[in-house]
Amino acid sequence: MPRLILVRHGQSQWNLENRFTGWWDVDLTEKGEAEARAAGELLLAKAMLPTMAFTSLQTRAIRTLHFALEAAGRLWVPEIKDWRLNERHYGGLTGLDKAETAARHGDDQVKIWRRSFDIPPPVLEDGSAFDLKADPRYAGIAIPSTESLKDTIARVLPYYESAIVPQLKASHVVLVSAHGISLRALVKHLSGISDHDITGLEIPTGQPIVYELDEALAATERYYLAER
């Protein structure tokens, strides 16, 4: 039966610093690198070996994928990178310290920006230090100025259906190395989680989540590989 493995990138520098990251390209910490290697070692130990891989255009997800594949002895498998697997765009919150932002705007407002299903943060102004329009990896892409979870789902799911589903139907074991919110979009879809309940779902860094799928690609089981 088809199998899908999801891995959130290892700890990034801005995870460590408690800053809103979104589309900004932040690298892994040493701990994040170790988490990524451990994920690959677990894949190898459990004989859960991917034959196809997908990731975003962001360094922390790409390097997590490569560390994991190397540890699993699978650096040779085909991989596809696409911006639609990027993290949610945090708009004008990008780069801000989360605690300082809560002190300035109030916990309730920050909770709305972070956890509501369809209310995005303030937009990122043109010319901001975090404006990505000149980044060559996004040439020709309509870069969002902010995104809600709903907005992120609207780009992730069509990509899943058009690019990842055909590989699952071809009996590949697919590994997706991505981000907390883009993976949350996939989990919501595959597990049928409500708009309300998905906002409370946490996906830990570097912990492979396995979906066992039937021939129609409906999920028959979801589990953390470390628990098997």
| Tokens 């690198």 found at | 33
Q: Any idea of the CA torsion for 144, 149, 150, 155, to the nearest 10 degrees?
A: 50
Identify the pLDDT of residue 104.
Answer: 87
How far apart are the C-alpha atoms of 177 and 189, rounded to whole Å? Answer: 17
Identify the pLDDT of residue 59.
Answer: 98
* Residues taking part in catalysis: 9, 87
How far apart are the C-alpha atoms of 62 and 52, rounded to whole Å? Answer: 14
Identify the pLDDT of residue 211.
Answer: 98
DSSP state of 28: B
Q: Apex CA 162: angle with CA 75 and CA 176, to 5°? A: 30
CB 44 within 8 A of CB 73: yes
In terms of pTM, does the model score above 0.85? yes
Each of the 228 residues of the chain gets a pLDDT tens digit; together they read 899 999 999 999 999 999 999 999 999 999 999 999 999 999 999 999 999 999 999 999 999 999 999 999 999 999 999 999 999 999 999 999 999 999 988 999 999 999 899 999 999 999 999 999 999 999 999 999 999 999 999 999 999 999 999 999 999 999 999 999 999 999 999 999 999 999 999 999 999 999 999 999 999 999 999 999
Amino acid 11 reads Q
Residue 172 backbone dihedrals phi, psi, to 5 degrees: -75, 150
Closest by CA to 118, choosing from 189, 49, 196, 176, is 196
